[in-house]
Amino acid sequence: MFRILFVIFLFSSTALAAEVSPALEKKCREQFYKQNIAAADTCREILETNNTEMMKLLGDMFFWGWGENWPQDYKQAVRLYKRAASRGNVEAKFAVGVMYYEGRGLPIDYSLAFRWFLSASQDGHPEAQMNLANMYNKGAGVSPNEAEAFDWYLRAANQGVPEAMYNVGNRYARGLGTQANLIEAYRWHRLAENNGIQESAATLKTLSENMTASDLAHSSQLIQNWKPVNEQENLSKNN
């Protein structure tokens, strides 16, 4: 399963700048989610404070576009995403990576997409980690590297990305980028299936036919004990 995750989040984990009025920030958000054209002016006021979350939000407005009154404009979206990303906003870093990968508002450049996904991944962004793993797997913007692909798939899977769970399961089953391990393969394919990946069902059947009752019990216990991690939250606590 290989596809670039294309998720433009409307919330950022970046802390709000202290000088931003909470009332103004709230007004910007409320108008945005109601697709009120007045959100453009309200959110622009906050841009003057260099608040990266609001830069990202206004970039989303240009990305999606709201008809004739607010046409879609990828170039303006990229400008705001880059502005926020250069100031450390992890959601904006991810968005810039997507824009380079998809060629939205600028030419396709897999090398630059890789750099932005790497930066966001190091900041704990799960979908960026999934995309980075895909690029290592495919050799897009970077030399193919099965071990790196596995490591980033695993980090994304541990954060709860279903497609990453599926890929981790496949790699444990086939010994790609890691040692083959049927117990782990079964665990990750079961978690993937539990999170909506239907392709895991056939693999689970094949795995179970080649595992002992003890192996299946061990894997089931691992599944029961599994909980997703939140890398961004953990990084914030440690800084």
Q: Does residue 9 surpass a pLDDT of 70?
A: no
pLDDT at 34 (0 to 100): 82
Residue 187 to residue 28: CA distance in whole angstroms: 43
DSSP 20: S
C-alpha to C-alpha distances, 157 to 35, 40, 98, 145, 152, nearest whole angstrom: 33, 37, 20, 18, 8
Residue 172 to residue 174: CA distance in whole angstroms: 6
pLDDT at 112 (0 to 100): 98
Proportion of the chain above pLDDT 90, given as a percent: 68
Q: What is the pLDDT of residues 55-76, one digit of tens each?
A: 898 899 889 887 676 789 999 9
Confidence of residue 6 (pLDDT cuts 50, 70, 90): low
Report the CATH number of the 109-239 domain: 1.25.40.10
Determine the average pLDDT of the residues in 140-162. 98
Q: What is the pLDDT of residues 13-42, one digit of tens each?
A: 333 344 667 888 888 888 888 878 788 778
The dihedral over CA atoms of 126, 59, 85, 133, expressed in degrees to the nearest 10, equals 30
Residue 73 to residue 182: CA distance in whole angstroms: 48
Inter-residue contact 29 to 64 (CB < 8 Å): no
Residue 121 to residue 58: CA distance in whole angstroms: 23
Report the CATH number of the 21-89 domain: 1.25.40
pLDDT at 11 (0 to 100): 36
Every domain range in the chain assigned CATH 1.25.40.10: 109-239
Average pLDDT, the chain: 89
Confidence of residue 2 (pLDDT cuts 50, 70, 90): low
Among 58-62, 193-197, 220-224, name the one with the lowest average pLDDT: 58-62
pLDDT at 29 (0 to 100): 82
Determine the average pLDDT of the residues in 198-207. 97
Alpha helices in 86-145 (DSSP H): 90-102, 110-122, 126-138
Residue 16 or residue 218, greater confidence: 218
Proportion of the chain above pLDDT 70, given as a percent: 90
pLDDT at 116 (0 to 100): 98
Residues 6+ positions from 72 with CB-CB distance below 8 Å: 62, 63, 64, 65
pLDDT at 33 (0 to 100): 80
Confidence of residue 4 (pLDDT cuts 50, 70, 90): low
